[in-house]
Amino acid sequence: MKAILGIPMAFLKLFYQSIYLALGQIWANKARSILTTTGIVIGVASVTSVIAALTGLKANVLSNFESLGTNKIFISPHRPREGRFKSASWRLIRFRPEIFEGLKERCPSIDDHTLMAEGSEAVHYGVESIDSARVYGINPSWHRIENRSVVMGRPFTLMDEENGWQVCLITPKVRDELRMDRNCIGKRIVVGQRSFTIVGVVEQRVESSMFGGMGSSQEVFIPFPTAWKLWGPWTWMYAIASCRKPELSAEAQAELRFFLRQTRRLGPGDPDTFRLEVIEEYLKQFNTVAKTTTAIAGGVVGISLLVGGIGIMNIMLVSVSERTREIGLRKAVGARPAAILFQFLVESVVLCLFGGLIGAGCGQLLTELIAKIPGAALDKAYIPLWALGLSFGFAAATGVFFGMFPAIKAARLDPIEALRHE
């Protein structure tokens, strides 16, 4: 039993011994230790704060995308470039409402979906008019998917849809352009050639700070079945689906694709006759850019760690040569070469980890400063755990790598020569 425990115990003791000696040595040379480790401090501080800044930037961009809806999937008809639909007529390619029947049951990752028909019409109210307002045919689920609720009046109901009633929702902008009262519920406006009753007001489109306003904000909404009936099968029809979680986006797309290929009766070799588009795609591109930036920044600050490491190696070499007599003495009283090696190695690793710790603290301070820069869009900057682990790992590796040569030099000293050293 003692023999089995002997080796790990001896190793443990060597380790403990080395840490004891190394800490004593660092404490004895406080000023020099602090100066030596400055390189590592700067390296780790810059690594962590740069990563924190990039993380903050990413979080900011992500939240901007979030306001557009990262979990939205746009489904639109698309004529493939090859295959048997290459020259198919638009009549074959376009969507019909029937193909979306049963979507909810068949695609578990899809939270909800709305059919969309889109057109441009003139709108009249009394003498006032808007030449071309965007007119959308929507399902009631649209409010949830687009995250735009009804601020006055009511949304469309099942009755509106089933009876094809001529009711509409408008945006405050349209109301103001038509010079209507604030409470415009129940008023009738003319959209195209037909008269519609206003049942509610939909909140204005969110103007994204990053992507600007896309499309006009003069919008009129009518129930999808009404639009389909009015404009007939020649309208531009598409759909928007939302998945349950942003992470499920890929799964939801796969389900949708499978579902649509079935309802559109596509053969195994046929290319898709529809297109699925996700804002996620743009997010992915941004992520690639962010990753590249992180890597480049990491490489640049990695150089500062390298410089710090060379500083450590230099000071360790100085330490070995000025303590040659001490090493000789330690060997004379029975220190094994391994004990001397470990002592110096642990000393340099402890120096580096110490530097890493101070560096992480400085990095945290820097990060808090960065977060306070006005208008830099970095208020979400924080140091992710992996960055801390990475910089500590690098600091320790620097210690081992640059401490190895001086430590080997010390361990190989001949005790007689070392004791004779001046």
Partner 1 sequence: MSTTSNAPATPTPHSRIVIRLDNVTRVYKVGVERIHALDGVTLELRQNEYVAVMGPSGSGKSTLMNLLGCLDRCTSGVYELDGYDTTRLGAGGLAHIRNTRIGFVFQSFELMGRSSALKNVEMPLIYSRDGWWSRHKRARQMLERVGLADRVKHRPNQLSGGEKQRVAIARALVCNPSILLADEPTGNLDSKTSEDILRLFDQLHAEGQTIVLVTHEESVARHAKRVIRMMDGRIFTDLSSEEDQAQRAAMAEHFGEVLK
Of 27, 31, 55, give the one whose Cα is nearest residue 363.
Answer: 55
Cα distances (Å, whole numbers) of residue 216 to 311, 321, 377, 419? 61, 77, 27, 88
- Smaller CB distance to partner 1: residue 130 or 327? 327
Buried residues in 13-26 as b, exposed as e (16+ CB within 10 A): ebeeebbebbeebb
**How far is Cα 226 from Cα 121, in angstroms, rounded to an integer?**
15
The answer to whether residue 108 forms part of the interface with partner 1 (CB under 8 A) is no
Residues 6+ apart with CB under 8 A from 403: 312, 313, 316, 344, 345, 347, 348, 349, 352
Is residue 59 within 8 Å of 378, Cβ to Cβ?
Answer: no
CB of 324 to partner 1, least distance (A): 12
The answer to whether residue 88 forms part of the interface with partner 1 (CB under 8 A) is no
- Smaller CB distance to partner 1: residue 184 or 335? 335
CB of 315 to partner 1, least distance (A): 17
**How far is Cα 146 from Cα 273, in angstroms, rounded to an integer?**
25
- Smaller CB distance to partner 1: residue 79 or 421? 421
- Smaller CB distance to partner 1: residue 53 or 418? 418
CB of 36 to partner 1, least distance (A): 17
CB of 351 to partner 1, least distance (A): 18
The answer to whether residue 415 forms part of the interface with partner 1 (CB under 8 A) is yes
Residues 268-327 contacting partner 1, CB under 8 A: 325-326
CB of 402 to partner 1, least distance (A): 25
The answer to whether residue 22 forms part of the interface with partner 1 (CB under 8 A) is no
The answer to whether residue 264 forms part of the interface with partner 1 (CB under 8 A) is no
CB of 325 to partner 1, least distance (A): 7
Of 36, 39, 58, 37, give the one whose Cα is nearest residue 47.
Answer: 39
Strand positions, DSSP E, 271-378? 274-278
DSSP-H helix ranges across 323-336: 324-332
The answer to whether residue 180 forms part of the interface with partner 1 (CB under 8 A) is no
Q: Which of 17, 64, 157, 235 binds partner 1 (CB under 8 A)?
A: 17
Positive/negative CA dihedral, 112, 117, 119, 122? negative
- Smaller CB distance to partner 1: residue 284 or 325? 325
- Smaller CB distance to partner 1: residue 19 or 248? 19
**x/- site string to partner 1, residues 320 to 339, per CB under 8 A?**
-----xx--xxxxxxxxxxx
**How far is Cα 422 from Cα 418, in angstroms, rounded to an integer?**
9
CB of 5 to partner 1, least distance (A): 14
* Residues engaged in binding partner 1 (CB under 8 A): 13, 17, 20-21, 28, 325-326, 329-339, 415-416, 419
